[in-house]
Amino acid sequence: MSTKHAIIIGSGIAGMATAIRLACAGYEISVFESNQSPGGKLSYFEKETFKFDEGPSLFTQPQNIEDLFALANEPIENYFNYSKTEVACNYFFENGKRIIAYTDKKRFSKELAEKLNENSDAVEKYLSDAEKLYNKIGLIFLNHSLHKLSTWMHKRVLHALTALKTSYLFNTLHHHNTKNLSSTEAVQIFNRFATYNGSNPYKAPGMLSLIPHLEHNQGTFYPKGGMISITNALYQLALKKGVQFKFNHSVEKIIQENKKVKGVVVNGEHIFSDLVISNADVYYTYKNLLNHLPKATKLAKQERSSSALIFYWGINKEFSDLGLHNILFSNNYKEEFDCLFIKKTMSSDPTIYINITSKMESEQAPEGCENWFVMINAPTNNGQDWNEMIDETKKNVIQKINRILNTDIEQLIKTETILDPRSIEKKTGTYKGSLYGTSSNSPFSAFFRPANFTSDINGLYFCGGTVHPGGGIPLCLKSAFITSELIIKNEK
C-alpha cells in the first residue's frame, strides 16, 4: 500500500505537532509556511542584544510536549529542557497590596489568607474543585471532538455529568468567584483566568474556574532558552521524523473536487495530496483558501476573543520586586472588559502583564538590564485609530508602572518594539487580530467553536487556536492530538 501524503498549511505549534503525530503514523508530510521561520505566534526576535519571545509567555502542562517525544521515540532531553517555577505570578494592586501566587496550593492559600484575609480552606477547596472539574469534564473537552456522536455515547460522559453543576454553565466566572471568595483582590485574581482564552469574566461561564488548576495544582514551568525553545524543539523533532518544510510559501487555494480535497495551490503551482490540514485561522481558510463565503460570513458573526497590544522594552535596570510573570491590575476591572468587548477600545486604566525572561536566564538581556514583554489586553481590529490609541495607552501604562513600582520607567527604556492587533492580523492571518479565535463569553461557546474536520469536504481537517478546543499552547497541542486521531481513524 502506497504512503499517504498530507499537506499542512502553517507551521504554528499545532501544525508542527500534527505533522509529528502523522509522520509517526506513517504519513508523508509537507508543511507550507508563509513566514520565513516556524512557530506562528510562538516566535522570537533580538534587538540591541535584548532577546524577546514575541508571543505566548506562559508554559504549563509540559506533558503535552513530552507525549510527542515519547510517540516519536526520541529522548526529549536532547531537544528540550525545562524547570518548574516556584511562583506562577506576582500580583500588584493600586491599593499597595502585593500577592505572590505560589504554584504550591497550600502556600498560595496561606498567602491569600495572610494578605487578603481569605479563608485558606475555602481557597484550597476552590482549587480542589477546579481539579475535579478539569479531570471529570475538562479532559473530555480537551481530548475528544465535541462534533462526533461517538464522544457523547461513551460512558465517560455519564461520569462527567455527575460533576457538572448548572451554575458552571449559567453563572459567570465573576459570579462563581464572588460566591467562593471574600476579597475583591482575590476575586480579581481568579477572574483573570478568563483572559487565558481571551474572554470576559463578567460574561464567560463559571466553567472557566477549572483553569487555575493548571497553575496552582499542576504548576507553571520555564523552558530553558525561553518560549522559542518550544518552537525549536518541535521543529527539530519534525525534521527528524522526515517532515518537509517549505518556508516563504503561501498557500493560495485549497483544491477540491466532488467534495474531496485534492491538494493546494502554491505560487500558482498545483500540489496534490491525499489530505490537507489547515493550521491557519479557520475564518481565513474558508474565506481565502476555499472561497466559501457563506461559511466565512457565519464564522465572522461569532464574537472574537480579545487581542493584545505588546511593548517589547529593553530596560536599563533590574527590578527586584518583579519576577518572571507579573500583573499590575486595573482599579476597575469590569470597565476594562466593557472597553474591550463593548466599546472596542483601550481602557484608560489597563491591567498590565510584564514577562521578564532575564529573571530566569541573565543572558536574555545585557548585564544590569531586563527584557520586558509588556502586554495589555486589546480589542480586535475594527478599524480604530490605532496610532492614537497606542500613544494614549503607552502614557497610561507608563504612569501606572511608575505609580506601582515607584520608578520613572520611560527614562529606562533603551529599545522598543510594538505589536498591535493590526500587525498580529497581518503576520498570523488571524481574523481581526484575535488571539484565540472566538471568545468563550457564553455558556455554549465551546460547542460553537469550529470543529477539527468538515463533513462538507472529505480529507480536509483543521488544527490550531481557532478551532476546537481553543487557543494557547496546551490547547493547540490538544488540537493537534484530536485532529491526528480523527485522521488516523478516518483515513485508513
Read out DSSP for 282-307?
Answer: HHHIIIIIS--HHHHHHHHTSPBPPE
- Phi then psi for residue 309, to 5 deg, are -115, 125
8 A C-beta contact, residue 377 and residue 333: no
Q: Is 116 helix (H, G, I), strand (E, B) or coil?
A: helix
Select the CATH number that applies to the domain covering 306-428 from these four: 3.30.60, 2.60.120, 3.30.519, 3.30.420. Answer: 3.30.519
Cα(417)–Cα(326) distance, integer angstroms: 20
Cα(492)–Cα(487) distance, integer angstroms: 8
pLDDT at 382: 95
Give me the CATH code for the 5-43+59-82+225-301+440-490 domain, please.
3.50.50.60
**CB neighbours (10 Å) of residue 117?**
11
Angle among Cα 204, 118, 93 to the nearest 5 degrees reads 70
Per-residue pLDDT of the chain (492 residues; tens, 9 = 90+): 468 999 999 999 999 999 999 999 999 999 999 999 999 999 999 999 999 999 999 999 999 999 999 999 999 999 999 999 999 999 999 999 999 999 999 999 999 999 999 999 999 999 999 999 888 887 777 777 777 766 656 666 666 666 666 777 789 999 999 999 999 999 999 999 999 999 999 999 999 999 999 999 999 999 999 999 999 999 999 999 999 999 999 999 999 999 999 999 999 999 999 999 999 999 999 999 999 999 999 999 999 999 999 999 999 999 999 999 999 999 999 999 999 999 999 999 999 999 999 999 999 999 999 999 999 999 999 999 999 999 999 999 999 999 999 999 999 999 999 999 999 999 888 999 999 999 988 877 777 899 999 999 999 999 999 999 999 999 999 999 999 999 999 876
pLDDT at 152: 57
Name the residue among 330, 299, 305, 275 with its Cα closest to residue 459: 275
Radius of gyration of the chain measured on its C-alpha atoms: 22
pLDDT at 149: 64
- Any residues with CB less than 8 A from the CB of 386 and at least 6 apart, and which? 420, 421, 422
Residue 303 carries which side chain, given as an amino acid letter? E
Is the pTM here over 0.85, yes or no?
A: yes
Cα(30)–Cα(264) distance, integer angstroms: 11
Positions of CATH 3.30.519 in the chain: 306-428
| Dihedral sign from CA coordinates of 249, 253, 256, 259 | positive
Positions of CATH 3.50.50.60 in the chain: 5-43+59-82+225-301+440-490
DSSP class per residue in 427-462: HH--GGG-SSSB---STTHHHHSPPSB-SSSBTEEE
| DSSP state at residue 412 | G
HSE-up of 407 (CA within 13 Å, CB side)?
A: 19
CA–CA distances in Å: residue 262 to residues 153, 364, 458: 33, 45, 9
Q: Cell for 77? A: 532531553
DSSP class per residue in 225-264: T-THHHHHHHHHHHHHTT-EEEET--EEEEEEETTEEEEE
CA–CA distances in Å: residue 358 to residues 45, 73, 149, 317, 330: 14, 33, 48, 12, 25
| DSSP state at residue 12 | B
Cα(162)–Cα(352) distance, integer angstroms: 38
